[in-house]
Structure 1
Amino acid sequence: MVRYAEPGTVEWVESGGGPLIAVPETVLPFWAGADGDETASDYDRACEVDGFIGLLPVGDSAALVFGDEPASTTYLPDHRTFVRWSAADSEAALLAEVPAALDTAAWEAEVRWSVPGAVVLFDAAWPGTDATRADRVRIALEPGRYAVRAAHVRPGPETWLGLVQLRRLPG
């Protein structure tokens, strides 16, 4: 696997070339990744997501799929935003541009995502039960419904990033 992000301030998750996915912890055993005897694996279903984000049923919940490109991705809880590294000279340069990127983003249509609590971000090719892998990040989310929106932003000449922002919905 090619590493695009250097270890630093935040934990980055990378893929081997396909989409990343955020699966609620409670349904991780139901995500088979590229494994399985079916004609279309969970990974194949994730690859079919068109656009920046999409939802796929997993157990009695849904997983958030990060489409478009296999960019290194992290979660910034202060902004309730997943940040996807497309281009930047350094992690510090990329993270410094996030506030401006959030202010100027042209957001795509929202999706509604219900989560029972924490989710795990990882490469969609891996089974959810493969908890020993180091390239995963657990994200503590409050149970509930979220509006999820995505954008690709170019806040500077050398900095391009994807944003996937969560907004907690009442109820």
Structure 2
Amino acid sequence: MVRYAEPGALDWVESGGGPLIAVPEAVLPFWTGADGEENASDYDRACEVDGCVGLLPVGDSAALVLGDEPASTAYLPEHGTFVRWCAANSEAELLAEVPQALATADWGEEVRWQVPGDVVLFDCAWPGTDTERTDSLRVVLEPGSYTVRAANVQPGPETWLGLVQLRRLP
């Protein structure tokens, strides 16, 4: 697989062309990825999500689908935000623009996500039981309800990024 995000300060997750998905660790075994009947796999369900984010039932929980485009994605815990690398000359350039991007983002409609704890971000084509063998990122989250909102932002002339922000509800 071609890596678009050069190694740097963050761990970046990439996909083979489909959406990325954040599945709660507690229900990882229930995510079957592209395995399954024709046009009825979990991968197919994830590809049907319209827009930048969506939720899909998995076991007794829900997974967060990062739709729109298969951009390299990292998680910034200090901002509670997945950052999607659409265009930038370097990781440093992209990360320097994040505060301005967060401040000026035109956020889309929010969804509410109930999370039982930590989640794993990976290419939705993979089964949840195989995340150790592929690009994946464990994201530490407190159990509870979160609002999720997304935006695509161009904070600089050659920098475009996607933002998916998680905000924990009291």
Fold in common (TM above 0.5): yes
Q: Quote how far apart the aligned CAs of 1:36 are.
A: 1.4
The alignment's TM-score, normalised by the length of structure 1, stands at 0.97
CA contact (8 A) 2:122 2:131 kept: no
Amino acid at match of 2:123: D
Amino acid at match of 2:42: D
CA contact (8 A) 2:148 2:164 kept: yes
The answer for unaligned runs of 5 or more in structure 2 is none
Q: Partners of 2:40 and 2:162 in 1: how far apart?
A: 28
Q: Quote how far apart the aligned CAs of 1:160 are.
A: 0.1
Question: Aligned ranges for residues 82-101 of structure 1 at < 5 Å?
Answer: 82-101=82-101
- Residue 135 of structure 1: aligned partner: 135
Q: Partners of 1:97 and 1:57 in 2: how far apart?
A: 34
Amino acid at match of 1:107: W
Q: Quote how far apart the aligned CAs of 1:39 are.
A: 4.2
Q: Partners of 1:23 and 1:55 in 2: how far apart?
A: 10
- Residue 60 of structure 2: aligned partner: 60
The SS at the match of 2:130 is coil
- Residue 114 of structure 1: aligned partner: 114
Amino acid at match of 1:64: L
Question: Aligned ranges for residues 1-171 of structure 1 at < 5 Å?
Answer: 1-37=1-37, 39-170=39-170
CA deviations on 1:64-95 (whole Å, 9 max, x unpaired) are 00000000000000000000000000000000
Q: Quote how far apart the aligned CAs of 1:133 are.
A: 1.6
Amino acid at match of 1:98: V
The alignment's TM-score, normalised by the length of structure 2, stands at 0.98
Amino acid at match of 1:69: E
- For these two proteins, the number of residue pairs brought into alignment is 170
Q: Partners of 1:129 and 1:66 in 2: how far apart?
A: 20
Q: Partners of 1:62 and 1:38 in 2: how far apart?
A: 22
User: Does 55-64 or 124-133 show the bigger shift?
Assistant: 124-133
Identity %: 79
Q: Quote how far apart the aligned CAs of 1:20 are.
A: 0.2
Q: Quote how far apart the aligned CAs of 1:22 are.
A: 0.1
The answer for unaligned runs of 5 or more in structure 1 is none
CA deviations on 1:11-55 (whole Å, 9 max, x unpaired) are 000000000000000000000000013641000000000000000
User: Does 9-18 or 125-134 show the bigger shift?
Assistant: 125-134
Q: Partners of 1:39 and 1:158 in 2: how far apart?
A: 38
